[in-house]
Structure 1
Amino acid sequence: MNSLPDNAALPLQPLPYHDAMVAYLRTYEDDLWTWFSSAKVRTEQADAVRLDLLKNAYRMGRDTQPDLYAAADAAAAALGLSVPATVYQLQGGLGMNASLAYIPGEIHVVLQGPVLATLNAVELRSLLGHEFAHFLFYEYRDRQFHTAAEVLAAMTRDRKAEPPHAESARLYQLYTEVFCDRGALRVGGDLAAAVAMQVKIETGLREVSATDYLRQADEIFRLEKPRTEELTHPESFIRARALQLWSAQGDAAAAEIARMLEGPPSLESLDLLGKMRVSDLTRRVIGGLLAHTWLRTDSTLAHARRFFDDFTPAAAAEPVPALAAEIQGMEKSLKEYFCYVLLDFATVDRSLEDAPLAAALEFSRKLGLGELFGPIATKELGLKKKQFEKLSASAAELLEKAATV
């Protein structure tokens, strides 16, 4: 049985990315979802975790570690949890770390290295708040967020995995760490302690200044636009800044935090959600170009259906400013991609001569892609600069003529 009722009001809310990814996986990866959410698989996973804990970690008792368990009880109370909690010390291992060994309905936290000797009382509560927040996150809504993490991990291990699978798993975990950092702040009640705890665990230092670290993070953001690329934890300064923003602004900081974690969309770093958005935008761009009814020949429509087999031109064209605004927020690689999509349709029906190229050029300008489209078209079509300039100058005339034929 789930330790949280389905309608439980969480003291912390999953981020929009979590909800969007769960919806995507339940829709498009329903077989995997059914498998990983089955009682059989969950039982097998729990048994494996129990055995691993018994073999590789020392189970600390309440009698020998009263202060530790007092902190654990405080963390559970702050997060509204009333389930048994056990803390372990990993045997061996380099550096410091803490992790949740997830078993449904039970909290098991594993410490690695001299964590207890390094953190002060508030920092320890913050650390336990972070790990207990992992449990809270995984238990909520019939454990769907844990199922999503398992599905993504399985997809990345598949030999047929593509970059969007790995990127989705990476981002999902990064957003999860951001969620759990909020658990650290809620339990510890002190931003400085939550940040100092994080820095101590990452660096191994016994004395750190959260104020100095947050100032360092601000300096980094003034100098460049960082984007996290680590697999298990976001870069520490991004996490610290995300927590600082959330502590000051609450949910109003969501858009800025998303920009920090994801950066502008690029062709090389699309996740599954981004890939779906680009696919939708591609359909809309094609539809916008084919708003010219004379351009809807058998050849161009057949080409459109190579992209989308159910493609049908819309009765009314979408307002171009909406398309342009979305494209302008993307990195150059995706802007170039849309230029190549337009160029595809400019050359697929040779019987229309130069009119499709004129239409693609005009549309690229409206989308804010004119400066990229020109050089791409010139290069790919083997045109001389003067030839393209002549076409550009006569584009309006060519379109007017094509519309009257």
Structure 2
Amino acid sequence: MAAPHALAPLPYHQALVAHFKRAEPEVWAWASSLSVQTQHAQELRTELLRKTYRLTPASHPQVHALCGEVLARLGIEANVTLYQAGDGAMGASLWSLPGEAHVVLAGAVLERLDEIELSALLGHELAHYKLWTLDGGDYHTAQRILDHCMADPQAASSHAESARRYSLHTEIFADRGAAVAAQAALPAVAILVKVHTGLGNVDPTAYLGQAEEVERDDPRHSRGETHPEAYLRAQAVDRWWRRAADTDSWLRRRLQGPLSFDRLDLLDQVELRALTRRFIARLLAMPALNSEAAQQQARGYFPDWSGEEPAADDEALAPDRIDDSVYGYLRSVMLDFALIDADQREATLLETARLAARIGGRAEFLAALKRDAGLGKRELDKLVRRLDQESAA
């Protein structure tokens, strides 16, 4: 018998928390020390009472009984208060206080969701509460840091992208909570469709088939700002529930996409720096670049260059790992090294052009040699002939 599905922070959550602790220890210490003021907590409770209808155990025993079961399945110890909002759109939201979870239902969820689906909806919202309490509240602390960054109108784009991705992964975590609460993935998919469409009757299996069609026709990464697209969320929770071996790598492709200059987050900045080091190490492994001039050029990029750095392999340079903007950047790095030694110019140009061809950027590299390095027609034609001869051999 398979072990129960355990809710755990996603790799992105864990990586960003580790980054903040390592790179911003003072900020982390400050954010960790923040606490909810008594006055703020009371104001929140009063505001909820002012704008909603409180669902008491006496007035709505069924939903409270379901909520108790969900708390047990998610392993949460908290006082939960349920409310019904006046908004007509179906959905739910969570307001979290220490030891308290306030769940606000919206629209006709009590009428249009069956018991299992309602358990899934409650599980989704309460999973947010669970995430904020895991590992001593680390994931809530990371969210606080991101929230404070985004409150600044001049927030760096890397912080904005980190906040976006953190939100996307948090929703995936909450969808897993929905599946655990319902003890199946299909109810979690069903509530996604019902909330998205407002329909009272949907076929989650058919929707998963629809999502697979999108996957085949348009396998791009999420463009969502706070929530991934519903079809991606449906696939994600289904894959996790089936324990698909490639779930983490699939999520990385679908929520983050390849490394790109256009959307670097804080973790991408670290990754790009590491990739640059490994790429330079690969360049310096070329016989024509086995020189002190090349080592000096590397130290211009990285003053702590050791000369014994691991080199980037083809997998690290594959199209599913980096996009055209990063390829363009790496071509510029190649140009820097290809032209540093006049005595080795011909050999260096040939070896760097070979690498460009190997990673799928021959034409672009040759164009850069002409445009940016001022390579003449005779020299360029000679280089092209050598490359053509090698590829034909």
Give yes or no for TM over 0.5. yes
The question of whether the paired residues in 2 share the 8 Å contact of 1:84 and 1:107 is answered with: yes
1:313 CA displacement: 2.2
Contact 1:220–1:226 (8 Å) recurs in 2: no
> Map of 1:235-314 to 2, 5 A cutoff?
235-250=229-244, 252-291=246-285, 295=289, 301=295, 303-314=297-308
Q: How many residues align?
A: 382
Question: Is 1:34–2:29 an aligned residue pair?
Answer: yes
TM alignment of 1:170-209, pairs within 5 A: 170-209=164-203
Name 2:315's counterpart in structure 1.
Answer: 325
SS at match of 1:85: strand
- Is the 1:25–1:148 Cα contact (8 Å) retained in structure 2? yes
Give the equivalent residue in structure 1 for 2:134: 140
The within-5 A match list for 1:357-376 is 357-376=349-368
- Aligned partner of residue 97 in structure 2, secondary structure: coil
Per-residue CA shift, 1:110-133, capped at 9, x if unaligned?
A: 222332222222111110011111
Q: Which amino acid aligns with 2:101?
A: I
The 5 Å alignment of 1:18-97 reads 18-40=13-35, 46=41, 49-50=44-45, 52-90=47-85, 92-93=86-87, 95-97=89-91
**Partner residue in 2 for 1:398:** none
CA displacement at 1:295 relative to structure 2: 4.6
Letter in 2 for 1:71: L
- Residue of structure 2 in register with 1:112 after alignment: 106
Question: Contact 1:49–1:102 (CA<8 Å) still a contact in 2?
Answer: no
Q: What is the root-mean-square deviation in Å for CA atoms of aligned residues?
A: 2.9
Distance 1:170 1:44 in 2: 30
Segment drifting more, 71-80 vs 288-297? 288-297
Mean CA deviation greater in 328-337 or 45-54: 45-54
Q: For residues 301 and 42 of structure 2, what CA distance do their matches in structure 1 show?
A: 46
Q: Which structure 2 segments of 5+ residues have no match?
A: 388-393
Counterpart in the other structure of 1:4: none
CA drift of 1:176 comes to 1.2
Residue in structure 2 matched with residue 344 of structure 1 by the alignment: 336
Q: CA deviation at 1:107?
A: 1.5
Aligned mates of 1:311, 1:159 — CA distance in 2: 37
The CA deviation at 1:248 is 1.5
Residues 181, 243 of structure 1: 8 Å contact kept: yes
TM-aligned CA deviation for residue 182 of structure 1: 1.1
Q: 1:221 offset after TM fit, Å?
A: 1.0
In 2, the alpha carbon distance for the partners of 1:307 and 1:10 equals: 46
Answer whether contact 1:36 1:42 (CA < 8 A) is retained: no
Which of residues 199, 210, 217 in structure 1 aligns to 2:204? 210
Q: Counterparts of 1:196 and 1:147 in 2: how far apart (Å)?
A: 32
Aligned to 2:9: 14
Question: 2:96 aligns to what SS in structure 1?
Answer: coil
